[in-house]
Structure 1
Amino acid sequence: MFERLFKLSEHNTTIRTELVAGVTTFLTMSYIIFVNPDILSTTGMDRDAIFVATCLAPALGSIVMALVANWPIGMAPGMGLNAFFAFTVVAALGFTWQQALGAVFISGLIFVFLTVTGIRSWLIQGIPHSLRSAIATGIGLFLGIIALKNAGIVVDNPATLVGLGSLKAAGPLLAIFGFFVIAVLDALRVKGAILIGILAVTILSWMTGVSEFHGIVSMPPSMAPTFLQLDIVGALHGGLIHVILVFVLVEVFDATGTLIGVAKRANLIQEGKPSRLGRALLADSTAIVAGSLMGTSSTTAYVESASGVQAGGRTGLTALVIAVLFLAALFISPLAASVPTYATAPALLYVAGLMMRELTEVDWEDLTEAAPAALTALAMPFTYSIANGLAFGFISYVVLKLFTGKWRAIHPATLIVAILFVIRFAFFAE
């Protein structure tokens, strides 16, 4: 059956290899089970319901990836997009989480349309490479400041906006310890380093009485508080149009970049030969729609899937194993509820650091490329908004290219996005 479904021999792999690859990928990405409820619950959403959605959405997305695309790639709510959902759309802009879910749903439908019609390829080709790299870096910086704030290491300071928190308090000390655990284990190539770091801080916190232990296993909690609670009509509010644009742009860049990168490493994309990238992107976009119905932010392909590819994963059987393990994780909700915020903060900070390596892809010798990239990356954490970072980057790119005589380098897709952001600031500024 597995041979017929996944063509194992054609991909020069075995059931055992695919099982090992699936477990490996799950261990490297399972931290999202604890981090996502932590982030999204700040909006007022029910934490237990988010936990269930965080397990079900990746399971469904990974099953679709396995059966439709036959690629060894796991899916889960995207880091950065969940932060944008919680801290920008709801906390900063003041929209309800129901409206934010509606925006995710609409962005998913747009992503499906862009993929099916081929517009996605045109859009991706038209966005400058420097801006794509800067977007990943900026999201990393945005996650970094959120992580430091959650850990109590960065605090509000009326005189300087931000300042250093007390490094004698339990939360910051445990967070620092967790970061070092994750970094050291990852440097030693220990599988599941991020998950181990989260659990190490959590257990130490229980042992020292800083936080409470609520148990490990129970029946899955109800998803009713978030299931089908999205407000699609409310998401069509004028102020949310640019939010939907940001969701679509980040989803397209993130998904395409991750899928191409991991697939190339698995030798699934070869010059001159047909690939299943279109099917994989369709799986990604349908997972976004399904996740919004369940009650979580955008679900996307995870770059941690590269760890499973490194372990030999080459087919959808790897993704199917990931899906089964996410379903099994539904039964550990008490453990998820026992994980304090400062235990997930080191994971956020470490992921943030990894995302910043994209800066090396920027052409720093060309100021018309470098300046917009720098603005994109800096504006995200300093305005506490991924949307503002994208706007600053696209608008400045068009302006600099135009007034330095390099207007031919402006792709129509970049120009259209820049104009949309100008309209947003002119008519829909919050």
Structure 2
Amino acid sequence: MNQQTLTLQQNNIKTEVLAGMTTFISSAYIIMTNALILSDAGISSDAAMIATIFTCAVSTFLMGLVSNTPFIVVPGMGINSLFTYTIVNSMGLSWQSALAAVFVSGIIFTIIASTKITPILMKSIPNNLKHAITAGVGFLILFIGLQKSGLVISNENTLVGLGNLGSKEVILTLITLLIIFILDLRKVSGGILISILIGTALAIIMNITSLDNLDFTAFNINEFKNVFLNLSFRDIFTVPFFMAVLSITVVIVFENMGILYGMLGTLNKEESFQRTFALAGISNMIAGVFGTSPTIVAAENFSGISSGGKGKVSALTSGILFLLSLFLIPVLKLIPNSVISSVLIFIGILMIQTFFDLEKGDIIETISIAIIITVIPLTYNIVNGIASGFIIYTILNIASNQYKKVSPAMYILTGLFLLNFILSTSM
């Protein structure tokens, strides 16, 4: 090996390492944000953070070593809301049963990804309805962020109203959100993480949080044993469990499918799709075992790709950094909800942008889109929104003698969602 080749390889490795660091920095906020949402399902903050870290690290290592891609895998923002607010808080499953639903969904996902079902599914649901689901979930996450920040509060007359704009917590949320917007507009790498750090520093100055709360002895890694392998299959033959598996599978399959096609296309590695897609399914099985919400191939990977990440070195770097973040959990716990709420609001806005990807369709698609986007946030239930939109889409196409426009898979999904509504109302 000559000196020129050696130097080139060293430069490539350096680029990959820096890309992996960039991807991690861009996505580190997920550790805190996911824990905040999972805590509403009854999972302790410490346990949720550890489960999130281990799931991200193991799944990312797997992605790099098996598929030689730079992708990190993380609990999805939006799908964690489905896990907590729909499956646990609305459908009534325990978080242990919800973890089992995540695991089963991962098995189904992996089977789908390993067969010829994938291209069939890609064509089964109209693109506009897929975009509507993402936008609807975005409105839900935005609303959750507004509530947790105190910007929106309950109101006896109008259900919701404007919060106290003079409170320190609300002011901190607004300032942090403004910083996020500015850094995003300036294309600053790791802008969300930088905003969180600035927001936390402001929280200390404003006496919202205190460095006196920084206690490395208070962090209990033994909390992890409360979620690891704590999935429960006792509800496996119930309607809520079946619908939880169905809804998780639909969301994670199509979300991962869309993200992966875009990223692999950018890397000119389209031939690796099926293997990478299957690994995304396996990562959801890992999530169920470790004790966190369903995973997706992170959109933040684009930051690493734009920095030159192309292969496994980038993924391995990100995975190592996730593991090292275990030692920072006591520091992460200093971050107040007001700061994390600003991140949720920003993520919601980013997801709502999908609305502008909608193609001009007929009145039936317009009605279905409106129902999906409206029902998801107003009922705090992602499944209700998807089901309502799918059912009305299918019924109106049949009623207008356009039944051939509806794919066989859509008929099946519509039937299952209808069955769920019937059984839910009769119970």
TM-score range, shorter chain: over 0.9
Change (3 A) 1:314 1:385: same
Q: Over residues 4-33 of structure 1, what are the superposed CA-to-partner deviations in whole Å (9 max), with x where a residue is unaligned?
A: xxxx99999811111111111111111001
Secondary structure of 2:221 counterpart: coil
How high is the TM-score relative to the length of structure 2?
A: 0.94
Q: Distance in 2 between matches of 1:319 and 1:217?
A: 31
Deviation for aligned residue 1:320: 1.2
SS at match of 1:224: helix
The alpha carbon displacement at 1:121 in A equals 2.7
Structure 2 residue identity aligned to 1:229:
N
Alpha-carbon RMSD across the aligned residues, in angstroms, is 2.2
CA distance in 2, matches of 1:10, 1:210: 50
Say which of 101, 110, 121 aligns to 2:99.
101
Shift of 1:268: 2.0
2:74 maps to: 76
Task: Summarize the alignment of residues 132-281 of structure 1 with structure 2, pairs less than 5 Å apart.
Answer: 132-213=130-211, 214-215=214-215, 221-222=221-222, 223-269=224-270, 275-281=271-277
Contact 1:363-1:370 at 8 Å conserved across structures = no
Measured in 2, the distance between the counterparts of 1:337 and 1:232 equals 32
The DSSP-based 3-state class of the residue aligned with 1:231 is: coil
- Asked if the contact 2:149–2:337 (Cα under 8 Å) also holds between the matched residues in 1, the reply is yes
Deviation at 1:249, TM superposition (A): 0.4
Please give the alpha-carbon distance, in whole angstroms, between the structure 1 residues aligned to 2:8 and 2:62: 21
User: Partner amino acid for 2:255?
Assistant: D
Residues 62 and 322 of structure 1 are in contact (CA less than 8 Å); yes or no, is this contact kept in structure 2? yes
**Is 2:327 the partner of 1:295?**
no
Equivalent in 335, 347, 350 of residue 343 of structure 2: 347
* Distance apart, 1:141 and its partner CA: 0.8
Q: 1:9 to 1:163 in 2, by over 3 A?
A: farther
Q: Which residue of 1 is the match for residue 363 of structure 2?
A: 367
Counterpart contact for 1:362–1:370, Cα < 8 Å: no
CA distance in 1, matches of 2:63, 2:175: 36
Q: Which residue of 2 aligns with 1:393?
A: 389
Partner of 1:286: 282
Q: Secondary structure at the match of 2:114?
A: helix
Q: Distance in 2 between matches of 1:318 and 1:125?
A: 32
Write out per-residue CA displacement over residues 192-219 of structure 1, whole angstroms, 9 at most, x where no aligned residue.
Answer: 1111112222221122211233157998
Q: 1:314 aligns with which of 303, 310, 317?
A: 310
Q: 2:219·2:330 contact (CA, 8 Å) conserved in 1?
A: no
Is the Cα contact below 8 Å between 1:28 and 1:304 reproduced in 2? yes
**What is the aligned partner in structure 2 of residue 382 from structure 1?**
378
Asked whether 1:30 is paired with 2:31, we answer no
From the superposition, tell whether residues 29 and 217 of structure 1 become closer, same or farther in structure 2 (CA, over 3 Å): farther
**8 Å Cα contact 1:217-1:332 kept in structure 2:** no
Query: What is the identity, as a one-letter code, of the residue corresponding to 1:413?
Result: A
**Secondary structure of residue in 2 paired with 1:334:** helix
Judge conservation of contact 1:284–1:300 (CA < 8 Å) in 2.
Answer: yes
The 1:235–1:136 alpha-carbon spacing in structure 2 relative to 1, beyond 3 Å, is same
Spell out, residue by residue over 1:275-305, the C-alpha distance to the aligned partner (whole angstroms, 9 max, x if none): 1111111111111111111110012100110
Structure-2 change in CA distance of 1:369 and 1:10 (3 Å): farther
Deviation string for 1:381-401 (max 9, x for gaps)? 011111011101111111222
Q: In percent, how many aligned pairs have the same letter? A: 33
**Structure 1 range deviating more: 195-204 or 166-175:** 195-204
**Maintained 8 Å contact 1:62/1:73:** yes
CA contact (8 A) 1:31 1:194 kept: yes
**Correspondent of 1:46 among 36, 44, 47:** 44
CA distance in 2, matches of 1:151, 1:390: 27
**After the TM superposition, which of the residue ranges 418-427 and 210-219 deviates more from structure 2?**
210-219
SS in structure 1 opposite 2:74? strand
Once residues 308 and 398 of structure 1 are traced to their aligned partners in structure 2, the CA distance between those partners, rounded to angstroms, is 40
1:39, distance to aligned residue in structure 2 (A) = 0.9
Question: Distance between the aligned counterparts of 1:132 and 1:243, measured in 2?
Answer: 18
Secondary structure of 1:381's counterpart equals helix
1:211 and 1:170 mapped to 2: Cα distance? 11
Q: Show CA shifts across 1:342-400 (max 9, x none).
A: 11111111111111121122233421222212211111101111101110111111122
Contact residue 362 and residue 373 of structure 1 kept, 8 A: no
CA separation of 1:208 and 1:361: change in aligned 2, threshold 3 A: closer
Letter in 1 for 2:366: A
Question: Which structure 1 segments of 5+ residues have no match?
Answer: 1-7, 270-274
Q: Indicate the SS of the match to 2:389.
A: helix
Alpha-carbon distance change, 13 to 88 in structure 1, aligned in 2, over 3 angstroms: farther
Match of 1:67 in 2: 65
Instruction: Report matched runs for 1:115-130 at 5 Å.
Output: 115-130=113-128
Instruction: Look up the SS of the partner of 1:28 in the other structure.
Output: helix
Return the letter of the residue paired with 1:160: T
Identify if the C-alpha distance between structure 1 residues 236 and 29 changes in structure 2 by more than 3 Å, giving closer, same or farther.
farther
Please say if residues 395 and 418 of structure 1, whose CA atoms lie closer than 8 Å, have aligned partners that are also in contact.
yes
Provide, for residues 161-184 of structure 1, a one-character-per-residue CA deviation record: whole Å limited to 9, x for no partner: 111111111111111111111110
